[in-house]
Structure 1
Amino acid sequence: MVDIKDFEVETLGECRVDTPIESARFVEDDDHVMFHYCLKDLQAYFEAGQTPPYFEMAGPRRNIYFDPSKLKCGIVTCGGLCPGINDVIQAMVMELYYHYGVRSIFGFRYGFEGLAPKYKHSPLELNPDVVTDIYLQGGTILGSSRGEQNVPEMVDTLERMNLGLLFAIGGDGTLRGAQAISQEIKRRNLKIGVIGIPKTIDNDISYVQNSFGFITAISEARTAIYTAHIEALGARNGIGLVKLMGRESGFIAAYATLANADVNLCLVPESPFSLEGLMAEIQNRLERRSHAVIVVAEGAGQEFFQATSETDASGNVRLGDIGVFLKEKINQHFKKIGVDITLKYIDPSYTIRSVRANPYDSYFCLTLGHQAAHAGMAGRTNMLVGYWNGQFTHMPISLAVSARKRIDPKGRLWNEVLASTGQPRTM
């Protein structure tokens, strides 16, 4: 069973300042969101005489920790681009400025580089005029970067600028960086809050049901898959092959497959396959229907490549290009058996992650940004704003980075994929 202590969120101290927000649905500190939502899971805790684990509910508090008139805040965006980053920035600035009356908000340029003195990136002063239309743009107005920076030097910057809050928008690596910054702040006995906003197009942050940009990614992937299907239909023995993002977790590929009934094979990192089995399935499909559509996540089939110690700036192992690999192997296989095919390969990765958020993600980002501002003002730290069971939540960064969220090959999602494509459970 999950330990309830793992869900406890750090605070900077007692909240003694009356909130300037005049009208809101305030959340009390004893408002919680249950981690388990099945009755039998809850009963196991009750029978053991234990309290089931729960998240602290996100939302505005009646009493806050910081005096808004004296508070300075910073925002940083790190890692790869993702639809909705600008929406989150705008939401936080508007909430802090108009509802709390915070007038000093700085955007640090190019990720954690903006906090490192050696890069000499001047922070951007943020206010409603600066962020008014940024939700219409993809990417981030602050710029982004990958890679570690010197943690004590970054905290020196926060201390020198007299910042009370740092909001870090990013994925697993960013959250680990934010955690390290928070730990250094605590070591120095400073009163600076660090709030994470999970950003990962792969939707692979643990204990977070959905991350922003994920729904937009599925929607954009649908266009690429539709194109692959039309190309496959337009040729005898036509094959459309689409590679989507998903280094270790195949959620985009899985959900995009479920959103497109034309997909015949979905390949994800969590479900290994053999080339022989894959080729047999493609061959069977062509014999039955004369065309096939294949969706593959970028992290699938990495066992076919020689292991490497090379990493990118974020410390991620460099992947072999499974899309190009499969394109070559499929062409070689059908040439060997004397079957003419027409294969079209589509890799829309960067066109997907750089687009503006769709309406749902824009709404989601707006609420997420507001909740992050509320959490920071209430003195929470070393935590991120999550989403669970239809509610926004507070959770420790340590819990979020404890493991990567992945598809369960025996779970409901993957079973739905198998039912949709008709592919066998193992290949």
Structure 2
Amino acid sequence: MSERKKSAFDERITSERAILRRYINEGRDLPTDVFPIGQPIIKNPVSAEKVGVYRDFGQRKSVTADMDVIGEFAGKSKLVPSFLEAGPRQLLYHDPQSVRAAIVTSGGLAPGLNCVVHSIVTRHWNTYSINEAKRGGVFGIYDGFIGLYARPLDKVRLDPDITEYWLDRGGSMLGARRLTGKTLEDLATTITENLTLNDINILYVIGGDGSLTVAHEIAKHARTVSVVGIPKTMDNDVLWVWQSFGFNTASEKATEVVNTMHSEAESTRRVCIIELFGAESGFIAANAALASGHVDLVMVPESFMALAEEQYEKLLSLYVEYLSRVVRDKERAHAVVVLAEGVGELLKQKGISLGGTLITGKEFAGQFRSYLQDKLKDRIGQAVDVFVNQPRHNIRAIPANAYDQTYCERLGALAVDNALAGYTDFMISQWLTEYVLVPLELVIVGQKSIPPGGMFWKQVISSTGQPHIESPPAGESMLST
């Protein structure tokens, strides 16, 4: 077997188990502790009867339920690492009435952004009684880190009367533009200065792994500010998150699109290629395909990652041969292909060709369509038309469903509870069904991917009936189910 050509996809950690195994093998302790920026001495004015039982520093939740991994820790005479449990605190660091908090939504969109913002705002106002007469306030920052980097800050005062009307809106009412051309050091230094100039005590960063990387850097610079991350990614690829908010809504909408396109393809006797989001992880594509039950082929980056270079083109050839049989054998010639957008970029980075032409990345859906167009025939030998549907933005800039809206409410409220206690440099997360505080340094080491050797992906390809190439797992990241 030849050596694989290295790409950006090879450099990242793709599972929490991989992180745990690395620390076990190196004999190091997993950095799971989160600390306040100072000693909390303010008695919480909100009773436990109103917000629930106070959590203390001793209440923690295990990082894993995997008995094999737990056994490995025991074999090294080490305790299983644990995260601090999220929840209201009896002692606070920030005065809840005079605190000044800023909220930034950054990176790509996901259903539920406005719900998280509303939850943070209502928790500060309705639960902790923030008081503008004491200079307290919650500020929304426009346009992501662009607004946070600007002088003066591009901000707006928020209260529940304003944000309530955002709940049924998709996208982000604060905006979520990307800031480019700045170094991480420059970003963190300037943003820290701006936070100081505006007397901001708490910064909530709602974003994916890139935004959380910036948040971690800000936390290292802004020692008097509680920096809190709230994981946002429609792709569900943030580490140490059971499921990212918005993923449920996006998967549901993507499934609707797949079902609609199936009806279109079947009725018009065509083959439809549906390109969905998933730059480096194919969770949306795979979940929509499995939920629909009408998909003949689903292509995600992970299905190629563990293969040797010559196997990439072999797998593509197997896919084409398989689709040819599917179309030919059906009485009403048609097929549905679900494609994660990241497949094209991965194949481009690997220098893979399709029909003698190098794959160009973002145009892969069109390239694949053109290639299939010359290959697919129905049972009487007539050409079958192939078309591409790209509903990507239609599944992310939509309001959250009931599940995600409830989830966003929990995340936002718990973010406030722990920020007021002074904790910083952490992400609020639902992990193994429990809400916990995860240090940002653990979050930003990689991106979660579908294990191609795991049960979930095996069930997906069993559902579609598509061919696959068995290969040894490419490291620990491929071992989890």
Alignment TM-score > 0.5, same fold: yes
Asked if the contact 1:235–1:342 (Cα under 8 Å) also holds between the matched residues in 2, the reply is no
Aligned length: 411
Cα shift readout 1:10-64 (whole Å, capped 9, x = no counterpart): 3212221111221222222222221211333323222321111122111111111
Output the CA distance in 2 between the equivalents of 1:136 and 1:212: 15
Give the unaligned 5+ runs of structure 2: 1-20, 132-136, 305-311, 352-359, 471-481
The question of 1:113 aligning with 2:143 is answered no
Output the CA distance in 1 between the equivalents of 2:365 and 2:53: 49
* Deviation of 1:419 (Å): 1.6
- Shift in CA distance, 339/11, structure 1 to aligned 2, threshold 3 Å: farther
Aligned to 2:456: 413
Q: Structure 1 counterpart of 2:176, which letter?
A: S
Aligned to 1:33: 61
Aligned to 1:370: 413
The question of 1:129 aligning with 2:161 is answered yes
Show the 5 A alignment for 1:70-109.
Answer: 70-103=98-131, 104-109=137-142
The question of 1:298 aligning with 2:341 is answered yes
The question of 1:193 aligning with 2:226 is answered yes
Aligned to 2:212: 175
* Deviation of 1:322 (Å): 2.5
Output the CA distance in 2 between the equivalents of 1:326 and 1:26: 56
Moved more, 249-258 or 268-277: 268-277
Q: Structure 2 counterpart of 1:425, which letter?
A: H
SS at match of 2:302: coil
- Shift in CA distance, 389/344, structure 1 to aligned 2, threshold 3 Å: same
Output the CA distance in 1 between the equivalents of 2:94 and 2:419: 9
Show the 5 A alignment for 1:332-347.
Answer: 332-334=374-376, 339-347=382-390
Output the CA distance in 2 between the equivalents of 1:45 and 1:255: 33
- Shift in CA distance, 306/407, structure 1 to aligned 2, threshold 3 Å: closer
Asked if the contact 2:323–2:376 (Cα under 8 Å) also holds between the matched residues in 1, the reply is no
Show the 5 A alignment for 1:258-297.
Answer: 258-272=290-304, 273-274=312-313, 275-289=316-330, 290-297=333-340
Asked if the contact 1:384–1:395 (Cα under 8 Å) also holds between the matched residues in 2, the reply is yes
Output the CA distance in 1 between the equivalents of 2:235 and 2:286: 11
Aligned to 1:8: 33
Q: Structure 1 counterpart of 2:329, which letter?
A: R
Output the CA distance in 1 between the equivalents of 2:361 and 2:67: 41
Q: Structure 2 counterpart of 1:81, which letter?
A: L
Output the CA distance in 1 between the equivalents of 2:448 and 2:193: 33
SS at match of 1:333: coil
Asked if the contact 2:347–2:361 (Cα under 8 Å) also holds between the matched residues in 1, the reply is no
Aligned to 1:56: 84
Aligned to 1:398: 441
Output the CA distance in 2 between the equivalents of 1:169 and 1:350: 19
Asked if the contact 2:148–2:154 (Cα under 8 Å) also holds between the matched residues in 1, the reply is no
Give the unaligned 5+ runs of structure 1: 309-317
- Shift in CA distance, 153/40, structure 1 to aligned 2, threshold 3 Å: closer
The question of 1:142 aligning with 2:167 is answered no
Output the CA distance in 1 between the equivalents of 2:67 and 2:317: 44
Output the CA distance in 2 between the equivalents of 1:145 and 1:165: 21
The question of 1:225 aligning with 2:258 is answered yes
> CA-atom RMSD, angstroms?
2.0
SS at match of 2:161: helix
Aligned to 1:18: 43
Aligned to 2:372: 330
When normalised by structure 2's length, the TM-score is: 0.81
SS at match of 1:259: helix
Output the CA distance in 2 between the equivalents of 1:17 and 1:258: 51
Cα shift readout 1:308-351 (whole Å, capped 9, x = no counterpart): 9xxxxxxxxx942332222122113338x964102232111111
When normalised by structure 1's length, the TM-score is: 0.91
* Deviation of 1:304 (Å): 4.2
Output the CA distance in 2 between the equivalents of 1:304 and 1:176: 27
Asked if the contact 1:20–1:99 (Cα under 8 Å) also holds between the matched residues in 2, the reply is no
Q: Structure 2 counterpart of 1:405, which letter?
A: K
- Shift in CA distance, 306/91, structure 1 to aligned 2, threshold 3 Å: closer
Output the CA distance in 1 between the equivalents of 2:346 and 2:104: 36
Asked if the contact 1:232–1:342 (Cα under 8 Å) also holds between the matched residues in 2, the reply is no
Output the CA distance in 2 between the equivalents of 1:307 and 1:278: 18
Asked if the contact 1:387–1:393 (Cα under 8 Å) also holds between the matched residues in 2, the reply is yes
